[in-house]
A and B are shown apart, each in its own frame.
Chain A
């Protein structure tokens, strides 16, 4: 057992994410502290917030929405929590019983961040409950029951991890129930709240989640134990491949070849698919601004901000990492008979097409008035004319190889925030805001929109010049990039 722990410790401190420089580590430390503070504040504050908003008894309100809390937890786990199987392989050949290995792997999930982070909410909340004269015994047993449910989620996630069908069914049900609740057709919480209330009123009730936890942990153990073979539980999934021609792109010559390949890249790899879905998600980002949901965002300048993000979801999610998407086979690209300009242009066209598509998909924003949609259009034009190049340019400096097959690290690319890329966000986001702000201050809002769009058109007209500059940057960075991509992601 001790060796296991020492191995874990090594894998932790030698992980690529720790090999960054000191400044980055300090920054990450502050980030972690910040999130802890936020969670703690939420845990303590949630009681008083509910009380202030006069939603009812805070304990009951929390119990009522607990089903959504657990569902969101499941959602996050499924998409982000790493499965314990990944490191099992090397242990198959060493003199340890399979039971030991499985137990250790499952134990690893128990100490995962996805479990203990909930303590930041439940611990302070329980303490506040007790201090507010809720019966201590009952709160404690409620707390125990909730912990058991969180851990039950942990094991459910382990069990369904390779069954995406089950997961999507779950998401669909959850979304449907949420929507039904929102529109007032059907309120699922009416049926689930009594269960959580029972946990809080009858100490014996906590046996139910504990029993569930027991059953699930046995099931997870048994599942791993029986599937601990290279061709069973430890096998990497293979999908059936189908050849796609995209023959209509052939007429564009080399450009078409690259675009074809990029489409395959995006559709056939987990990581790039996530970037695509993330881009779609950005479409909804504007709701925060145009519905007036958040007061700080009400200023007119923020409309441009929203417009850039609504139309630029794909641009920011995909474009930012441009040569890195090809990191696995960059040496091939660099030794083939390729014109750099074609390679870069192909990516650029892809970004332009996606941005244009986003602008079309954003038409429903007309609901919030012409100005809202105009902001999206102007943001889109600026994205096409200026940001399209800037992300490609910045991408040349991001030398993080991407593991296409895994979607796990999608949010953790620390190196994507180096000084040069940060500097490039100024023209990407701040410049259009500034243009808008200045023109709107001295002239009219319409003229301000027009000026931002004009900047985009201007950028578009100079595209050939810009492409040759970017080409030069890529060429200058070639050897460094090749060397960086050799490191395993």
Chain B
């Protein structure tokens, strides 16, 4: 259970995040969407105590993250390349993380064997350092490393970006599985509305640091989100302004009927 209390982050006089209250129950797969600068990475960084909140705090499983470090044993995250150690081989990196999380080599190897499909033969035994892997393969390593040592909270920032289609599909399966069968709280952010609606039970939309929507995922959610984002852009040329991943036919459809967009907001946008 993650609880956010009166959390805000301000740089000089610009508030980049302001969340009065948010509860994320244990075992939920939680999706965070929003345009660039909406505050997604800021929120994750606060959750990992990488930046200090201006006001308020986050409580993760009874630990206030910015005062105690006891959240570290049960939390794992992959935000960006700064979570990788470039001069290690993937194996060394996995074992390094494993050792920090109290896992024996055998346990880590065991876990890795479950991901052979996911790695697609391009990660293990390649005689390459992480810095020499492609962006997509680096991401695979970073994501799988977060599963080492059975964490209770897994935070993935933009996990689908840079991945090839096959891997995206596999990753969706892995994330769904994680939340459903092992009770892991998974927090995912994405620009890809389709992926996030497929994977997450609940989706929160951030806009300029505020929660503007909090939706329990239902079949209609994707439409609703697309409507919101094409409306939120409020520009006539939707093809270029809507998030890249939204199929353009849909964008046109939604954009041409603003009524649907406002309806969607009215239904769920209680904040």
* A264 to B86 Cα, complex, angstroms: 11
Contacts A336-B100, A479-B52 given: A329-B84 contact, CB under 8 Å? yes
Q: Is A405 an interface residue (CB 8 A)?
A: yes
* A200 to B46 Cα, complex, angstroms: 70
Whether the Cβ atoms of A257 and B100 lie closer than 8 Å is yes
Whether the Cβ atoms of A238 and B132 lie closer than 8 Å is yes
Chain B interface mostly: loop
Whether the Cβ atoms of B132 and A335 lie closer than 8 Å is no
Interface stretch of the complex, out of A11-19, A74-82, A93-101, A241-249 = A241-249
Q: Write the nearest CB–CB distance from A72 to chain B, whole angstroms.
A: 31
Q: Write the nearest CB–CB distance from A335 to chain B, whole angstroms.
A: 4
Contacts of A419 in B (CB 8 A): none
Whether the Cβ atoms of B127 and A240 lie closer than 8 Å is yes
Contact with A along B75-108 (1 / 0, CB 8 A): 1010110111111110110001101111000000
Contact with A241, one of B77, B89, B99 (Cβ below 8 angstroms): B89
User: Max chain B CB contacts within 10 Å: which of A268, A328, A335, A485?
Assistant: A335
Q: Is A370 an interface residue (CB 8 A)?
A: no
Whether the Cβ atoms of A335 and B100 lie closer than 8 Å is no
Q: Is A332 an interface residue (CB 8 A)?
A: yes
* A240 to B125 Cα, complex, angstroms: 11
Q: Is B62 an interface residue (CB 8 A)?
A: no
Q: Write the nearest CB–CB distance from B76 to chain A, whole angstroms.
A: 8
Contacts of A240 in B (CB 8 A): 127-128
Q: Write the nearest CB–CB distance from A34 to chain B, whole angstroms.
A: 37
Of all chain A residues, the one with the shortest Cβ separation from B80 is: A331
Contacts of B49 in A (CB 8 A): 334-335
Q: Write the nearest CB–CB distance from B221 to chain A, whole angstroms.
A: 30
User: Max chain B CB contacts within 10 Å: which of A328, A329, A337, A479?
Assistant: A337
Q: Is A404 an interface residue (CB 8 A)?
A: yes
Contacts A241-B127, A337-B73, A338-B100 given: A328-B50 contact, CB under 8 Å? no
Whether the Cβ atoms of A331 and B50 lie closer than 8 Å is yes
Contacts of B102 in A (CB 8 A): 337
Whether the Cβ atoms of A404 and B87 lie closer than 8 Å is yes
Whether the Cβ atoms of B92 and A269 lie closer than 8 Å is no
**Chain A 399-431 residues near chain B, CB threshold 8 A:** 404-405
Whether the Cβ atoms of B100 and A243 lie closer than 8 Å is no
Q: How large is the interface on B (under 10, 10 to 19, 20 to 34, 35 or more residues)?
A: 20 to 34
Chain A interface mostly: helix
* A331 to B87 Cα, complex, angstroms: 16
* A142 to B73 Cα, complex, angstroms: 71
Contacts A241-B89, A329-B83 given: A479-B51 contact, CB under 8 Å? yes
Contacts A243-B92, A244-B92, A328-B82 given: A336-B128 contact, CB under 8 Å? no
Q: Is A482 an interface residue (CB 8 A)?
A: yes
Whether the Cβ atoms of B87 and A264 lie closer than 8 Å is yes
Of all chain B residues, the one with the shortest Cβ separation from A272 is: B87
**Chain A 230-253 residues near chain B, CB threshold 8 A:** 238-244
* A265 to B79 Cα, complex, angstroms: 22
Whether the Cβ atoms of A338 and B87 lie closer than 8 Å is no
Q: Is B72 an interface residue (CB 8 A)?
A: yes
* A332 to B52 Cα, complex, angstroms: 16
Q: Write the nearest CB–CB distance from A183 to chain B, whole angstroms.
A: 41
Of all chain A residues, the one with the shortest Cβ separation from B99 is: A257
**Chain B 43-84 residues near chain A, CB threshold 8 A:** 48-52, 72-73, 75, 77, 79-80, 82-84
**Chain B 190-235 residues near chain A, CB threshold 8 A:** none
Contact with A268, one of B80, B87, B100 (Cβ below 8 angstroms): B87
* A73 to B68 Cα, complex, angstroms: 55
Contact with B along A320-345 (1 / 0, CB 8 A): 00000000111110111110000000
Contacts of A331 in B (CB 8 A): 48, 50, 79-80, 82-83
Q: Is B119 an interface residue (CB 8 A)?
A: no
Contacts A241-B89, A241-B132, A242-B127 given: A338-B84 contact, CB under 8 Å? no
Q: Write the nearest CB–CB distance from A488 to chain B, whole angstroms.
A: 11
Contacts A257-B96, A336-B100 given: A330-B82 contact, CB under 8 Å? yes
Q: Write the nearest CB–CB distance from B210 to chain A, whole angstroms.
A: 24
Whether the Cβ atoms of A337 and B72 lie closer than 8 Å is yes
Whether the Cβ atoms of B97 and A336 lie closer than 8 Å is yes
Of all chain A residues, the one with the shortest Cβ separation from B151 is: A337
Contacts of B51 in A (CB 8 A): 479, 482-483
* A234 to B190 Cα, complex, angstroms: 33
User: Max chain A CB contacts within 10 Å: which of B73, B87, B102?
Assistant: B87
Q: Is A261 an interface residue (CB 8 A)?
A: yes
* A240 to B101 Cα, complex, angstroms: 28
Q: Is A254 an interface residue (CB 8 A)?
A: yes
Whether the Cβ atoms of B83 and A337 lie closer than 8 Å is no
27 A-B pairs with C-beta separation under 8 A: A240-B127, A241-B128, A242-B89, A242-B127, A243-B91, A243-B92, A257-B100, A261-B85, A261-B88, A261-B96, A264-B88, A264-B92, A329-B84, A331-B48, A331-B79, A332-B84, A334-B48, A334-B50, A335-B49, A335-B72, A335-B77, A336-B100, A337-B72, A337-B100, A479-B50, A479-B52, A485-B82
| Minimum-distance CB pairs A-B, first 4 | A268-B87, A257-B99, A332-B83, A337-B72
Apart from the given pairs A241-B128, A485-B82, 20 other A-B contacts in the complex at a CB distance below 8 Å: A240-B127, A241-B89, A241-B126, A241-B132, A243-B89, A257-B100, A260-B96, A264-B87, A264-B88, A331-B83, A332-B83, A335-B49, A336-B72, A337-B73, A337-B100, A337-B102, A338-B72, A404-B87, A479-B51, A483-B51
